[in-house]
Every structure is written in structure tokens, then in C-alpha cells.
């Protein structure tokens, strides 16, 4: 397996102001781009990634060697057609794939760890806007994101309304619910309960809180799938055995699958980044930022919006998308919305879905 | 009538012909977006749609139209007063939970409204009920009583009465049978017998 070459990196020429009132200096943003940039820079599609995603949207992941996370959507002749569009995908700040995050070195030469400031979705987007400024891109053809990527697309539309002509939000929400926060808190507590976490200062210790991070991922992964999907994929089938072991090995296939997902995740993700990014998602409430009324977030918006939800997504259910659509209607914005049928829950946006392809392609026309 | 508009269903073509170019239009029950596409591409309108069927919504969005999957009974409430120059309710009134309230909502969100519906007093329907003694299944109402979405059958005269009760002014009306317009004034009095479909333009 040939690793991808390192991503392009953009060093911000100025400190990045944060919602907390602090500022982050020496910020770098790692990004990938695909397709030719038009001379008038009018064909840029910015893709915002999800919680544990990264900039490798359509290129091989340098650690796992797996294909890009949205290769079925992005590429030559694909719905987001790189023969037509210049596609940019950047690692969000707080993450761990090249952009500045808790594992990055602070000014004293040691990793920030928990000295990294708490960031918000809007801070991530502020970083993305700084990248676009640096690249001289004033107005995006489209900003698109699923899940946390959709939160960033909404935040861009609300706070920098002139920066995107089209806003495509898939399987997302305008606020984290109590249930969303609760699941994230389970994950964070699992990480912080791992003795190897050491208050976040594990970078020099030679061991990282992999057990805690794996449990966090396992809990979260359940929320990305539907009960129907789990039943269809695993049922009560046993893993490599004919009968129950009367012990605590992974007797069931579903246990084995979750353990595999958890441990695989620790190979490519930093536990502190997981803490910071889940916190940013929990803090997200677009209405709260705009005087408590979501419609106010979109007042005067000239962008076209498209929202897509999936009927089996219980993490960010259709009602959340509808809530955004109602606010956009109240603000007089141009909006499309469709709930697609798919068996796989929240993760449906990453999987094969021809209707989603048609909607994405049509909206980008 | 222009080339694209002639491909429309006759009731939609009549509506398209009476919409000012460049106006803001809400098409409730927009189906595959046929009328919206004509209004946007040919008349330069800013057209938005509401449609309950997800497959039709997906087709409309894939055509580049702004269509929201939703239920007109609930979702009209989110639009501000007079957000549109025209609100169109095509073949949807008879499926509404409360057609009277929907008419109010139409005239709240739109300065003018178009309403089209199958006329239950058409002579075929009357004949089917009178001589067959069964709920009519006709060309205009092709679905059996137990699976039809039409929960509030309405006649031309019923609608005129509802408009009067609601203080809505009927500005124009069109009547159709056999896919053709019929009974243009001065024969409109016979519409309640002869029309399979009716279209009304209203304001308040």
C-alpha cells in the first residue's frame, strides 16, 4: 500500500479568534483538492467532513490505506464531478490529520493537550473561511457536508452568507439534542476514565488511551446505524463458534464487529481530538447564536439550500432537518428538502444510495 | 400559449398563462415540478414547491427545483404573510384535512391564489352514483373510495360557496372536460354539470 503524499497545508497569517474569547496562533490547516480550478474561481465545492472524518474525501487515507471516505460521491463523472468542479476538503481545527489540534505543538514546543482552547463549530468554519481567503476564493459554488459537516455548512451560511451560492446539508441538525450530548458524554467519560489518558498528557508517555477511545467509538458507532441494519447484518449470530462460551469474549458477531471498529479507530485518531470535537458539536446551537430564533440565522440569505435526511437516522432524525427547513421558509430562503428511505441509519449518507446521488447532482446543476 | 406550457396538463397550462413573469410562486402539491419548471425557465419566476411524495420530491430536486417534502396541512404555517405573489393548490384541496383552513392559508401566504380540483358534481359522477348506487370511479376520480386520498369531495358550486363564506373574491375560473377547456363564460353556469376539473383564481 502506497501512502498518499502529505496534504497541502495552509499557515494562517494571523491568529484565529475563537468563540471562547481566546485566539489560536500559528494555525495550520491541512487540505486536499481535486479537479481544475476555473480561471474565475467560480467552480469551487467545499466539502466539510464529519466528526472523525478528514480531508481525504476522495484519496487514499495515509494511515489506513483505505479509499477516500466519500469516493462514491466525489470524482470524475461522480455526482460531485471533479471534471467540472474544483473540490476542496480541509481537516477541521481540533482534529488530528494535519490541522492544528490538541496534539499539535504549542509555543513552548510541547503538545497542547488540554491546554488547547475549547472550540466551536463556528470556530472550525472560521478556520475554513481563512483558508478560502488564503486561496483567494470569495464565493463557493457549493458548500456541502453530512453530519458534523452539515453543521459547518449551516454555520457558514448563517455567519458568512455571501460565501456560498449553494448550501447542501445531509443528515444533520441545527443543534445537539440532550440525547446527542448524552452519547458524546459517554464517549468522553470512557476516554477520561482510561488511566493512560493522564489528564490528556499522554503524548510523551509512549501509551495513549486506546481502550477508552475504542469504547467511545463503539458507543458512537451504534448511533450511526439503525436497529434494522444491525439486525440484518448480525442478528444474534455467533462469532466463529457454534455455541455461547459462557464467558465474556466476543460471542456475538455484533460484539466482534464493534471491537474491530473501536480498535481500528484508535490507529487513526487522537483521543484528545475526540474530546474537543465532540464538545464543539455539543455546544452547537445555531438558533442560540442568533437570538434564539433559527429563522434569524438565515435572514437575508440569498443562497439556495438543500437538506436531505434519512428515514432510519435516529441520531439526527428527519424532524431536525424539517426544523431547519421551516426556519428557512420563514426567512424566505430558497430551499429543497427530501427525506430519503435507506436501511442503514445515520451512516446512509456515506453508503450507496442512487436517489442521494441524483439529488446531489441535480442540486449542483 | 407557449411551446413548453402546451405540454402541461390543461389546468396547469391555464394557471401558467395567468401568472406574471418574474413573480414569486408557491406550488402546493407540485408533483414532479412540471409547472414550476415552466414558470422558472420560461417566465423567470421564483418558484417554490411543496410535495408530500418523496419520490416526486427527489425528481423535482434532481431537476434543480426548490421543492420541500412536506404536508400542506401543517407546513404552510411556516411561511410568512404574503411571501408569494401566487399560491397554487393544484388537485390538493380535496385531500386536505380542512380545505376551509387551507384556503385561508393560501390567501395568507399568497396575494393571489389558484385552486384546481376535480368536480364531484360532473354528470358522470352523478350518473355513477344515481344509477350504480356506488361511490363513483370515473376518469377524473379513478381511485376506489377505500384507497382514495380525496377525503373531501367538492363541487364547483360548493367551492363558490366556500369562497363566499371566506370573503375570497373569484377573479377568474376555468372548466375542463376531456382534457379541453369548456364552458367559458357565458356558459359558466353549466360548469357544475359539465366540468370534470375546475380552476379558480382568487384574491382577498
A339 touches chain B (CB under 8 A): yes
Contact B69 A359 (CB under 8 A): no
**Chain B residues within an 8 Å CB radius of A321:** none
User: Measured between alpha carbons, how far is A274 from A37 in angstroms, rounded to an integer?
Assistant: 33
User: Measured between alpha carbons, how far is A29 from A298 in angstroms, rounded to an integer?
Assistant: 27
By Cβ distance, the residue of B61, B68, B70 closest to A362 is: B61
Provide the pLDDT for residue B3. 47
Tell me how far CA of residue B201 lies from CA of A142, B23, B94, B159, B169, in angstroms.
38, 16, 17, 12, 8
The residue ranges of chain B whose pLDDT is under 70 are 1-6, 183-188
* pTM over cut 0.80: yes
Catalytic one of A54, A123, A313, A347 = A313
Provide the pLDDT for residue A4. 47
Closest CA relative to residue A165, chosen from A44, A67, A40? A44
ipTM of the complex: 0.87
In angstroms, the separation between the Cα of residue A310 and the nearest Cα of chain B is: 11
Provide the pLDDT for residue B2. 52
pLDDT along chain A (365 residues), means of 10: 67 98 97 97 98 97 95 97 98 98 96 98 98 98 98 98 98 98 98 98 95 98 96 94 93 96 96 98 97 95 96 97 96 96 95 94 94
Q: Which residues pair with A305 in a beta bridge?
A: A167, A335
Residue A147 is a catalytic residue: yes
The C-alpha cell at B142 is: 379513478
8 A C-beta contact, residue B63 and residue A362: yes
The C-alpha cell at A165 is: 451560492
A296 touches chain B (CB under 8 A): no
Provide the pLDDT for residue B184. 64
Provide the pLDDT for residue B10. 87
8 A C-beta contact, residue A91 and residue A55: yes
User: Measured between alpha carbons, how far is B40 from A334 in angstroms, rounded to an integer?
Assistant: 13
Provide the pLDDT for residue A347. 96
Tell me how far CA of residue A76 lies from CA of A73, A90, A141, in angstroms.
10, 20, 17
CA pseudo-torsion sign A50, A55, A57, A59: negative
Residue A61 is a catalytic residue: no
Provide the pLDDT for residue A232. 94
Tell me how far CA of residue A89 lies from CA of A125, A128, A144, in angstroms.
12, 9, 10
8 A C-beta contact, residue A359 and residue A338: yes
**Chain A residues within an 8 Å CB radius of B60:** 336
The C-alpha cell at A213 is: 477511545
**Chain A residues within an 8 Å CB radius of B48:** 334-335
8 A C-beta contact, residue B142 and residue B196: no
Contact A325 B70 (CB under 8 A): yes
Provide the pLDDT for residue B9. 87
User: Measured between alpha carbons, how far is B171 from B160 in angstroms, rounded to an integer?
Assistant: 11
Closest CA relative to residue B182, chosen from B172, B201, B196, B170? B196
Q: How many CA atoms lie within 13 A of A143 on its CB side?
A: 31
**Chain A residues within an 8 Å CB radius of B45:** none
Residue A104 is a catalytic residue: no
A319 touches chain B (CB under 8 A): no
Q: Which residues pair with B203 in a beta bridge?
A: B112, B169
| Region of residue B147 (left: phi > 0; alpha: psi -120 to 50; beta: else) | alpha
Q: Which residue of B has its CA nearest to A79?
A: B62
Helices (H), chain B: 3-6, 10-17, 34-43, 54-62, 72-75, 99-109, 123-132, 156-165, 191-194
Amino acid at each position: 500500500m502506497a501512502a498518499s503524499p502529505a496534504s497541502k497545508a495552509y499557515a494562517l497569517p494571523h491568529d484565529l479568534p475563537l468563540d471562547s474569547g481566546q485566539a489560536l496562533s500559528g494555525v495550520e490547516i491541512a487540505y486536499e483538492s481535486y479537479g481544475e480550478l476555473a480561471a474565475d474561481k467560480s467552480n469551487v465545492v467545499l466539502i466539510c467532513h464529519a466528526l472523525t472524518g478528514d480531508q481525504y474525501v476522495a484519496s487514499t487515507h495515509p494511515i489506513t490505506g483505505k479509499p477516500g471516505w466519500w469516493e462514491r460521491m466525489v470524482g470524475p463523472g461522480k455526482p460531485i464531478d471533479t471534471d467540472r468542479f474544483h473540490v476542496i476538503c480541509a481537516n477541521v481545527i481540533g482534529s488530528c490529520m494535519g490541522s492544528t489540534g490538541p496534539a499539535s505543538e504549542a509555543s513552548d514546543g510541547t503538545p497542547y493537550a488540554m491546554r488547547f482552547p475549547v472550540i466551536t463549530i463556528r470556530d472550525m468554519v472560521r478556520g475554513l473561511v481563512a483558508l478560502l481567503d488564503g486561496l483567494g476564493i470569495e464565493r463557493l459554488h457549493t458548500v456541502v457536508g453530512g453530519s458534523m459537516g452539515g453543521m459547518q455548512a449551516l454555520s457558514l451560511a448563517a455567519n458568512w452568507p455571501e460565501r456560498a451560492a449553494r448550501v447542501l446539508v445531509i443528515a444533520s441538525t441545527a443543534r445537539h439534542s440532550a440525547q446527542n450530548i448524552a452519547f458524546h458524554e459517554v464517549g468522553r467519560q470512557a476516554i477520561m476514565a482510561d488511566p493512560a489518558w493522564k489528564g490528556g498528557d499522554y503524548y510523551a508517555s509512549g501509551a495513549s488511551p486506546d481502550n477508552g477511545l475504542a469504547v467511545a467509538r463503539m458507543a458512537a458507532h451504534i448511533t450511526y446505524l439503525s436497529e434494522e441494519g444491525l439486525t440484518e447484518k448480525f442478528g444474534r449470530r455467533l462469532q466463529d463458534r457454534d455455541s455461547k462460551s459462557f464467558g465474556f469474549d466476543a460471542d456475538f458477531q455484533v460484539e466482534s464487529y464493534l471491537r474491530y471498529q473501536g480498535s481500528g479507530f484508535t490507529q487513526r485518531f487522537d483521543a484528545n481530538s475526540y474530546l474537543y470535537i465532540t464538545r464543539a458539536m455539543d455546544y452547537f446551537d445555531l438558533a442560540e447564536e442568533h437570538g434564539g430564533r433559527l429563522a434569524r440565522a438565515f435572514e437575508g440569505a440569498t443562497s439556495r439550500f438543500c437538506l436531505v435526511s434519512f428515514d432510519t437516522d435516529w441520531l439526527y432524525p428527519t424532524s431536525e432537518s424539517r426544523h431547519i427547513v421551516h426556519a428557512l421558509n420563514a426567512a424566505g430562503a430558497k430551499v429543497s428538502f427530501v427525506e430519503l428511505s435507506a436501511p442503514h441509519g445515520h451512516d446512509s449518507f456515506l453508503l450507496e444510495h442512487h436517489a442521494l446521488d441524483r439529488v446531489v447532482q441535480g442540486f449542483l446543476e | 400559449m407557449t411551446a413548453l406550457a402546451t405540454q402541461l396538463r390543461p389546468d396547469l397550462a391555464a394557471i401558467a398563462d395567468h401568472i406574471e413573469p418574474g413573480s414569486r410562486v408557491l406550488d402546493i402539491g407540485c408533483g414532479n415540478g412540471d409547472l414550476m419548471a415552466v414558470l422558472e425557465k420560461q417566465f423567470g419566476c421564483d418558484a417554490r414547491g411543496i410535495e408530500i411524495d418523496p419520490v416526486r420530491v427527489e425528481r423535482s430536486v434532481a431537476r434543480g427545483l426548490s421543492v420541500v417534502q412536506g404536508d400542506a396541512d401543517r407546513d404552510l404555517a411556516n411561511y410568512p404573510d404574503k411571501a408569494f405573489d401566487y399560491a397554487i393548490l393544484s388537485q390538493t384541496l380535496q385531500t386536505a384535512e380542512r380545505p376551509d383552513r387551507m384556503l385561508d392559508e393560501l390567501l395568507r401566504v399568497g396575494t393571489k391564489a389558484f385552486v384546481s380540483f376535480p368536480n364531484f358534481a360532473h354528470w358522470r359522477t352523478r350518473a355513477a352514483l344515481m344509477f350504480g348506487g356506488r361511490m363513483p370511479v370515473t376518469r377524473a376520480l379513478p381511485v376506489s373510495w377505500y384507497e382514495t386520498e380525496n377525503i373531501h369531495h367538492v363541487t364547483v358550486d360548493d367551492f363558490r360557496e366556500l369562497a363566499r363564506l371566506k370573503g375570497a373574491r373569484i377573479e377568474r375560473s376555468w372548466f375542463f372536460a376531456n382534457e379541453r377547456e369548456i364552458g367559458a363564460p357565458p356558459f359558466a353556469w353549466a360548469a357544475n354539470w359539465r366540468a370534470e376539473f375546475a380552476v379558480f383564481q382568487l384574491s382577498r
